[in-house]
Amino acid sequence: MHIKELFKDKTVFSFEVFPPKKTSPVDVIYSTLDELNDLHPDFISVTFGAGGSGNSRYALEIASKIKESGITPMLHLPCINFTKSEIDAALDEAKERGIENILALRGDINPEIPPVNDFSYASDLITYIKSKGDFDIAGACYPECHPDADSLVDDIINLRKKVEAGADHLITQLFFDNDNFYEFREKAAIAGINIPIEAGIMPVVNKRQIERMVTTCGASLPSKFVRIMTKYEHNPEALRDAGIAYAVNQIVDLVASGVDGIHLYTMNNPYVARKISEAVSGIIKT
């Protein structure tokens, strides 16, 4: 199933998972997948380390496992630290496993790992994947601008190159202020980008996530969000419930505003995914 077909009929609702660390066996994630599959998302995507994480084999295995359970998988594929023949090997294996959907990415540039430079940008990878078979290809986009870009205008001009190269749909970086997404969507449309854009939603449900948000995430934190997180940061149960409620509110507003899809960063937490899925089940299925 090519994911692009789904957008024709409905608001797409999808999940993202990440493979376990290479020091853990792959099957530690299988019970999580069973619980996520029970929620019947339209697809589940699996992240893939851009370099050095050693979990790439896991990503393919996990994608196969998702497919076996009857859910459409999407494999993330970053390119900046891989040679053309490594990308060929990943695509060949994806084909053998019947994985038809790829999220084509550049990957973050790690100062400790010099880039291979067979592919400089995600658009180069998209062009290459197009030449390798009948894959459905997604790309990443950034409502608040990619950190390497000089401006959102430049970033959107670069995003158009991904679309021209053959991206079928897009998934956004996480954001906490829907207005940033609406402004981005409008600017992208003005730039002629008219493929479906799924909104990436990250429920922030524990203190570790808050700390990471504040230090590393480029997303702006609206005062409402900061107020909630500050109030509940020392009360894990309240923080979890508040984070779920915040994500649900974002989704309700996005769906009411005609979003093409919601991509939930599950953080491999089936409890949170279930609570959110149940809260939005009435509005999301159309």
Active-site residue set: 16
Q: How far is the CB of 33 from ligand FAD (least distance, A)?
A: 17
156 contacts 188 by C-beta, under 8 angstroms? yes
Count of alpha carbons within 13 angstroms of residue 184, beta-carbon side: 28
Q: Indicate the residue among 5 and 154 with the shorter CB distance to ligand FAD.
A: 154
Q: Tell me if 94 contacts ligand FAD by CB under 6 A.
A: no
Count of alpha carbons within 13 angstroms of residue 99, beta-carbon side: 26
Q: Tell me if 185 contacts ligand FAD by CB under 6 A.
A: no
Q: Indicate the residue among 104 and 242 with the shorter CB distance to ligand FAD.
A: 104
Q: Tell me if 162 contacts ligand FAD by CB under 6 A.
A: yes
Q: Tell me if 261 contacts ligand FAD by CB under 6 A.
A: no
Q: Indicate the residue among 164 and 278 with the shorter CB distance to ligand FAD.
A: 164
d(CA 260, CA 6): 10
Q: How far is the CB of 105 from ligand FAD (least distance, A)?
A: 4
Q: How far is the CB of 166 from ligand FAD (least distance, A)?
A: 13
Q: Beta-carbon neighbour count of residue 161 at 10 Å?
A: 16
Burial class (CB in 10 A: 0-12, 13-18, 19+), 48: buried
Q: What tokens does 141 get?
A: 């986009």
d(CA 174, CA 202): 6
Maximum Cα–Cα distance for the chain, whole Å? 52
Q: Indicate the residue among 71 and 152 with the shorter CB distance to ligand FAD.
A: 152
Q: Tell me if 158 contacts ligand FAD by CB under 6 A.
A: yes
Residues touching ligand FAD, count (CB under 6 A): 26
Residue 24 three-state SS: coil
d(CA 152, CA 210): 25
String of contacts with ligand FAD for each residue 40-59, x by CB under 6 A: -------xxxx---------
250 contacts 178 by C-beta, under 8 angstroms? yes
Q: Tell me if 33 contacts ligand FAD by CB under 6 A.
A: no
d(CA 264, CA 198): 10
Q: Indicate the residue among 80 and 205 with the shorter CB distance to ligand FAD.
A: 80
Angle between helices 270-284 and 30-37 (to 10 degrees): 20
Read off the amino acid at residue 75. Answer: L
d(CA 257, CA 240): 26
Q: How far is the CB of 233 from ligand FAD (least distance, A)?
A: 26
Question: Looking only at residues 200 through 239 of this chain, which bind ligand FAD when binding is defined by CB under 6 A?
Answer: 200
String of contacts with ligand FAD for each residue 55-84, x by CB under 6 A: ---------------------x-x------
Question: Looking only at residues 96 through 155 of this chain, which bind ligand FAD when binding is defined by CB under 6 A?
Answer: 103, 105-108, 121-123, 140, 146, 148-149, 154-155
Q: How far is the CB of 162 from ligand FAD (least distance, A)?
A: 6
Q: Footprint of ligand FAD on this chain (CB under 6 A)?
A: 47-50, 76, 78, 103, 105-108, 121-123, 140, 146, 148-149, 154-155, 158, 161-162, 171, 173, 200
